[in-house]
């Protein structure tokens, strides 16, 4: 298992933040806001695997690209970036030594907070 930074997802997250499509919640809120398995399945059915991948900063290219197991570090609810998801992902990426993903999430958090004037 070799999880890498999913650069198209990072570009997507930055664009959403620039467009103000952000929920400024807290880390603990992410457990309630994160998409359920049914919501994920519905999104994949409607939008496809490429669009699904754009909501995850981690990608394991050794996995089949058309399985959920290929994607990790979600940051939003398929509509908006969630600050709580970014914080949770940053913490988890640091915990598992995914330095590049951790640093990207940290920069996204800074962008969210900067945009909010915090």
Question: What is the per-residue pLDDT across 81-94, written as a single tens digit (0 to 9) for each?
Answer: 999 999 999 999 99
Specify the pLDDT at position 60. Answer: 97
CB-based contacts of 15-21 (< 8 A; 24+ apart in sequence): 16/76, 16/80, 16/81, 17/81, 17/108, 17/111, 17/112, 17/115, 18/115, 20/115, 21/79, 21/80, 21/81
Give the model's pLDDT for residue 1.
58
Mean pLDDT over 7-23 rounds to 97
pLDDT value of position 91: 95
Q: What integer pLDDT is reported at residue 74 of this predicted model? A: 97
More confident residue, 28 or 74: 74
């Amino acid at each position: 298992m070799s999880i890498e930074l999913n650069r198209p997802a990072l570009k997507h997250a930055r664009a959403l933040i620039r467009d103000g499509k952000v929920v400024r919640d807290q880390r603990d809120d992410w457990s309630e806001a994160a998409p359920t398995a049914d919501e994920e399945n519905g999104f994949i059915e409607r939008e496809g695997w490429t669009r699904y991948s754009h909501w995850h900063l981690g990608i394991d290219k050794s996995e089949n690209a058309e399985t959920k197991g290929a994607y990790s570090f979600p940051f939003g609810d398929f509509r908006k970036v969630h600050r709580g998801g970014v914080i949770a992902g940053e913490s988890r990426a640091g915990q598992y030594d995914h330095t590049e993903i951790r640093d990207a999430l940290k920069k996204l958090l800074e962008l969210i907070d900067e945009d909010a004037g915090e």
